[in-house]
Structure 1
Amino acid sequence: MKKVLLAAAVASIGFSAAHAAPTLYGRLNVSLNQVDNNNWKGENQTQLNSNASRIGVKGEEKLTDNLGVVYQAEWAISTDGSGSDTDLSARNRFIGLKFNKIGTLKAGNYDSYFKTAAGDYQDIFNDDTNLDITKTMFGEERLKNVVGFETDKDLLIPGLRFNVMAEMGENNSSNYSTKKRNSFGDGVSTSISYQNDNAGVAVALAGNFGVAGAYNHSGIKDKIESDAYRLTGSYDFSKVGVNGLVLGALFQYAEPSDSPSAQVLSNATNEKGESLKLDPKAASLEETSWLVQATYAIPSTPWAIKGQYQQAKTEWTGDSRKFDQYGIGVDYRLNKQARFYGVLAQQKRDWEKSDDKRTVVGAGMSYSF
């Protein structure tokens, strides 16, 4: 029905109905959560969260036998009317060309290949307002002003893909940049991945170079241009007779690009010559993070049980901070589109003198269309 309505709308503004209609898609994900020690100062809070709800249009149209156009435009939807999911704010958006059996060239604003290297089995709390690894690890950026190329999964070896993305600086450097960013490829995000469904194996290696990202536990609010490396993998144990069990893992390391010296930071000024008060700890920052998780979809039932443990250790000269998160989740899937779920997780900051633990318990529903 939705495709018929979209096709009619396109025709009504003068386009030929012979063109392929775009696909309307989206996801609404709402949960009711009780968060104990929500602000790390002892305050408890009951929340209704939208959890990265979204709506978008996407499509692909053949231009010749060997060339097609692809496009996507996605918006955040604030299902609960508040919070971080600002209504109709930009998410992934691009236009590109797809070359038959070679790959796809895209330009726009979309997730870095470092971010997408974390697949379906590297974060069971993906999109959760409180628990997503965006809040706990470096590197979960959606990059603006980028051109990227993704090889076809069967170009060289079936299941093997190469991705590379070049970011235009357009002088949008962070406060901690040591050079102006006005060139092609001021930031680069790349990955190589391999997936073999018959063997149940998926692995990926990704790198960011000169890409600004957040060190969530450093106390520095600004994003810092950094180099980072991420290794992910998962294995489906149904291939050895344990139906429904999948294990996944992730390891990564990040540090500021060209490690700006404390002297550079202490003398930093903006384009107007005004002094910037920058945190000197940025000169020696580094973050090491990892996680392991297990998902067990109980055979012949709509139930799935999940568990995850993760850690991020952020260090700089004279100090370090360690953040831990562990939790479980339960899913009840009604069909491929709809599921009910529950979560229970705890986070721990080792640098807090009191109120060092935060607990999240909640239940929600997700519907994809």
Structure 2
Amino acid sequence: MKKVLLAAAVASFGLSAAQAAPTLYGKLNVSLNQVDNKDFKGTNETQLNSNASRIGVKGEEKLTDNVGVVYQAEWAISTDGSGSDTDLSARNRFLGLKFKDIGTLKAGQYDSYFKTSAGKYQDIFNDDTNLDITKTMYGEERLKNAVGFETDKNLLIPGLQFNLMAQTGENITSVYSTKKRDSFSGVSTSLSYENKDYGFATALAGNFAVAGAYNALSLKDIDSNAYRVTGSLDLSKAGLNGLVLGALFQHAEPSNSPSAADLTAAKLDARVASLKEQAWILQATYNVANTPWTVKGQYQSAKTEWTGDDRVLDQYGVGVDYNLNKQARLYGVLAQQKRDWQTDDNKKTVFGLGMEYNF
């Protein structure tokens, strides 16, 4: 009898463990790139890039009929052994509670809702070491010390979701702001809607006092207010099978009007107080019918202005994918960035061949 009870207890424990088991996942993305005029100073370089490769664990477990726990911990993997992807550096990670039919509360470090409002049809070069939109425009931040809430997509209207996250006061977000705050500092939010029947998706996102970069002026960690509008339309619903169009527009500028004294203390140009940036993206993706081929093209531009100066950073390029299956693809990219404020060595060209595998 004791053996039967022991066996039942072990089986019960095994079942519980299986229910609670996390999912191991990851993505390896390796490419061989030829980069001409890599630093806009005439230097050419052949690179092997890891392109934001990662590994992580995530899961969800039911606690009651209406509440469950959700979690994720993700690390960067330096597939090429060097470069921008530091081995096992922190990526998205959080712990939270999911409330049935209401939404999910999260706490940790994870992508801002401003950033995630741009989906796969607004950035065809996502994760590319040289060509990701973080190289041209503000807004691609992963926020530390963040608490956020995401509504269920069916809470009010099917496909409609509202997201809100805030950084706690311990987070110092700016190079010219060193004082910790009693409550919260930066806030990121988005409102998105998707209608799969019509192939339409759109989002409106905002950042408030969230530190970010202005690439044209080589500025980092500037507390900024910004808004972003994104959209995509699958024209298969109109008879153009496989064709999807996407677009993005955004505006960003420093928040809280930094004083001259703050900027001087941070060794920043006083013109930062007048800084503004407007950026946009247009792209098209075409999945060739009954084949594993996908062809993509994208043009993006960011105009950055401050007193007495304005600069435009453009990027245009194409990509071709050969999808081996749902997990693996081979791809090629050809793109160019251009700086209008330089007369010599003002174009950077990237050609690359790579493979991506998701598990």
Relative to the length of structure 2, the TM-score reads: 0.94
Q: Are positions 1:298 and 2:297 aligned together?
A: no
Q: Give distance in 2, aligned partners of 1:209 and 1:183.
A: 17
Contact in 2 for aligned 1:171/1:180 (Cα 8 Å): no
1:253-312 CA-to-partner distances (Å, cap 9, x unmatched) read 00000222335423x3xxxxxxx4222121111110001000000010000100000000
Per-residue deviation, 1:15: 11
Q: Are positions 1:248 and 2:246 aligned together?
A: yes
2:134: which partner in 1? 134
Q: Give distance in 1, aligned partners of 2:152 and 2:131.
A: 33
2:105: which partner in 1? 105
Per-residue deviation, 1:19: 3.8
Contact in 1 for aligned 2:171/2:185 (Cα 8 Å): no
Per-residue deviation, 1:132: 0.1
Per-residue deviation, 1:327: 0.3
1:18-97 to 2 correspondence within 5 Å? Answer: 18-97=18-97
1:207: which partner in 2? 206
State the number of aligned residues.
Answer: 348
AA of the residue aligned to 1:182: R
Per-residue deviation, 1:169: 2.7
Which secondary structure does the structure 2 equivalent of 1:124 belong to? Answer: coil
Query: Displaced runs of 4+ in structure 1, greater than 4 A?
Result: 13-16
AA of the residue aligned to 1:357: K
2:318: which partner in 1? 328
Unaligned runs of at least 5 residues, structure 1: 1-10, 269-275
- Give the 3 Å change call, closer, same or farther, for CA 45–301 of structure 1 in structure 2: same
1:166-223 CA-to-partner distances (Å, cap 9, x unmatched) read 111315242223x733233311000000000111000000000011111111132x31
Contact in 1 for aligned 2:145/2:171 (Cα 8 Å): no
AA of the residue aligned to 2:221: K
Which secondary structure does the structure 2 equivalent of 1:265 belong to? Answer: helix
2:146: which partner in 1? 146
State the percentage of identical aligned residues.
74
Q: 299, 303, 309: which is aligned to 1:319?
A: 309
1:233: which partner in 2? 231
Contact in 2 for aligned 1:50/1:85 (Cα 8 Å): yes
Which secondary structure does the structure 2 equivalent of 1:119 belong to? Answer: coil
Give the CA RMSD over aligned residues: 1.6
Per-residue deviation, 1:134: 1.1
Relative to the length of structure 1, the TM-score reads: 0.92
Q: Give distance in 2, aligned partners of 1:361 and 1:241.
A: 33
- Give the 3 Å change call, closer, same or farther, for CA 171–328 of structure 1 in structure 2: closer
